């Protein structure tokens, strides 16, 4: 479990706190989507979980962040990394190897994955991210989207209890983005992996996440089950968050008194809504 209590953080070089008074609990097996405008503090929230803040980016740190009971301030980031796998917003900064295969092997060897499991995990991770054909490629020769998939593959091969991803689909087309989320869903359901993902594509996110956290200028302004948060679609639009199109359609139908059910999440529920309206 991750527990943030009255957590406030201001980077040493920052003029104001990047995060203010954050109270947040993320339970084992949860699937949490982090949304918010640029500069809202999404990346900083992920850094607080993997210990980058305050260990690599120092600053004024108030309150507490506990990961499985470990206080992140007193825990070395290397030790946290065993629990928390991270895919960073800047994937280039994340890559350590020259070849794709070595990128995955490096992590697994570092984390002491048993030798007889390595090949199976390598193959599964590449398969699940849809890049088995990239195994022997040079990382420098890959596109941004391909690198994102490699970064995700390298983390899932480690099977950490918690995976934090910061805009992992930023350079991916809709189909590949969906593939990444299906893979996260698989990990969440199969291994009970806790997933925390920053994502701009709110529509995509809502089809997979169980809970949403909306940050605005360093504060949590909405938090809860996806359906509950989406009830505030107007407020979200006001601050410039693009709500899923099915939610806009839902609002329209409710306004015209054509539909009375709950807001749909994902395409299947949207389809059910439309069928009901048409019938």
Ligand X SMILES: Nc1ncnc2c1ncn2[C@@H]1O[C@H](COP(=O)(O)OP(=O)(O)OP(=O)(O)O)[C@@H](O)[C@H]1O
> Taking CB under 6 A as the rule, does residue 53 contact ligand X?
no
40 touches ligand X by CB under 6 A:
yes
Q: Are 6 and 23 in contact (CB under 8 A)?
A: yes
Q: Whose Cβ is closer to Mg ion: residue 89's or residue 217's?
A: 89
Which residue number, 46 or 193, has a Cβ lying nearer to ligand X? Answer: 46
Residue 237 neighbours by CB under 8 Å, 6+ apart: 243
CA atoms 63, 66, 69, 75: torsion sign: negative
The interface partner of residue 203, options being ligand X, Mg ion, none and the CB cut-off 5 to 8 Å by kind, is: none
CB nearer ligand X, residue 103 or residue 199: 199
- Count interface residues toward ligand X (CB under 6 A): 14
For ligand X, the binding residue among 11, 62, 106, 111 (CB under 6 A) is 11
Q: Of the two residues 15 and 275, which places its CB atom closer to Mg ion in the complex?
A: 15
Q: How far apart are the first and last CA of the chain?
A: 45
| 164 sits near ligand X (criterion: CB under 6 A) | no
Nearest approach, Cβ of 42 to Mg ion (angstroms)? 5
* Preceding omega of 278 cis (within 30 degrees of 0): no
C-alpha to C-alpha distance for 156 and 259, rounded to whole angstroms = 41
Q: Measuring CA to CA, which residue among 181, 122, 200 is closest to residue 155? A: 122
Asked whether position 93 contacts ligand X by CB under 6 A, the answer is no
Helix axes 266-278, 245-255, angle to 10 degrees: 30
Q: Which of the residues 56 through 75 are near ligand X (CB under 6 A)?
A: 57
Phi, psi at residue 109, to the nearest 5°? -65, -40
Residue 39 touches ligand X, criterion: CB under 6 A: yes
Phi first, then psi: give them for residue 3, nearest 5 degrees: -130, 120
138 secondary structure, DSSP code: B
For ligand X, which residue of 2, 18, 80, 100 counts as binding (CB under 6 A)?
A: 18
Does residue 32 belong to the site contacting ligand X (CB under 6 A)? no
The site partner of 169 among ligand X, Mg ion, none (C-beta below 5 to 8 Å per kind) is none
Q: Does 43 bind Mg ion (CB under 5 A)?
A: yes
Binding site for Mg ion (CB under 5 A): 42-43, 89
């Amino acid at each position: 479990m991750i527990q943030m209590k009255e957590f406030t953080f201001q980077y040493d070089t920052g003029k104001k706190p990047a995060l203010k008074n954050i109270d947040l609990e993320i339970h084992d097996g949860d699937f949490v989507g982090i949304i918010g405008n640029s500069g809202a503090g999404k990346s900083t929230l992920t850094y607080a979980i993997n210990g980058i803040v305050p260990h690599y980016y120092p600053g004024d740190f108030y309150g507490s962040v506990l990961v499985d009971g470990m206080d992140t301030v007193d825990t070395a980031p290397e030790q946290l990394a065993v629990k928390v796998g991270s895919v960073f917003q800047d994937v280039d900064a994340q890559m350590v190897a020259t070849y794709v295969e070595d990128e995955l092997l490096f992590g697994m060897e570092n984390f002491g994955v048993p030798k007889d499991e390595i090949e199976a995990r390598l193959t599964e991770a590449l398969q699940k991210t849809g890049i088995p054909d990239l195994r022997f490629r040079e990382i420098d020769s890959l596109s941004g989207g391909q690198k994102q998939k490699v970064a995700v593959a390298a983390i899932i091969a480690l099977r950490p209890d918690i995976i934090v991803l910061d805009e992992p689909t930023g350079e991916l087309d809709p189909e590949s983005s969906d593939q990444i989320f299906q893979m996260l869903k698989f990990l969440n359901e199969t291994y009970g992996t806790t997933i925390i993902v920053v994502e701009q594509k709110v529509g995509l996110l809502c089809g997979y996440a169980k809970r949403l956290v909306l940050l605005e200028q360093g504060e949590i302004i909405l938090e809860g089950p996806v359906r509950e948060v989406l009830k505030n679609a107007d407020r979200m639009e006001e601050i410039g968050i693009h709500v899923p199109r099915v939610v806009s359609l839902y609002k329209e139908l409710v306004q015209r008194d054509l539909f009375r059910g709950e807001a749909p999440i994902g395409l299947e529920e949207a389809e059910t809504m439309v069928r009901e309206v048409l019938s």
